Amino acid sequence: MSLSELSPAERHRRIAAGFTDRVLGAADWDAPAPVDGWAARDVVRHLVEWLPGFLAGGSDVKLPVGPGVDDDPVAAWQVHCDGVQALLDDPATAGRTLNNPHIGEVPVDRAIDQFYTSDVFMHTWDLARATGQDERIDAEFAGRLLAGMLPMEQMIRGSGQYGPAVPVPADADAQTRLLGFIGRDPAWTPKA
């Protein structure tokens, strides 16, 4: 089954497993990352820190808190990732909603899937590139995300969450096009 065909719980399981592989394979947490001003550990920090506040701001969901990313990025990620997966696997989550002034009222699992799991997917490339690991992401899902974001480009750019688009060749693969769209230079390498 393709990533697009999976339930939110299964999609998170697969995408988070890919990110976890890169977390476990990271040797230098201070290595520069493709996001300006970030190191590898900041990629993990971003994912661990933004979702709990997003959920707490519009629902009764409280995710478990692990060690700080500065102390142990691997354990911080694993506690967070396991907590998100447990929430998505819980049958009671189907009846929970998130109220947010920007997106309205949506089921918690759909909000996590749409905003967080896709973020984990895209940041997998950042962590892989920063730490010299396999940076391939699923081409079909990259194309799906890009197709979904293109009609909302003005709103996305206005949110401040993405940098200016980086031009890529018109015939570039889906991963390269997605990276360019979200403001990543697909040819980025750490400065020597």
Report the pLDDT value the prediction gives residue 90, as an integer from 0 to 100: 97
Domains of the chain: 3-137 (1.20.120), 139-185 (no CATH)
Shortest CA distance to 128 belongs to which of 3, 11, 33, 14?
Answer: 33
List helix spans (H) across the chain: 8-25, 40-56, 73-89, 108-111, 118-131, 139-149, 153-159, 174-181
Please tell me the distance from the alpha carbon of residue 58 to that of residue 130, in angstroms, as a whole number.
33
Shortest CA distance to 104 belongs to which of 58, 61, 60?
Answer: 58
Cβ atoms 67, 79 nearer than 8 A: yes
Please give the single-letter amino acid code of residue 56: A
Report the pLDDT value the prediction gives residue 42, as an integer from 0 to 100: 98
3 state DSSP class of 64 = coil
- Positions in the chain whose pLDDT score sits under 50: none
Structure confidence by residue, pLDDT tens digits, 39-84 = 999 999 999 999 999 999 989 999 999 999 999 999 999 999 999 9
List helix spans (H) across 90-169: 108-111, 118-131, 139-149, 153-159
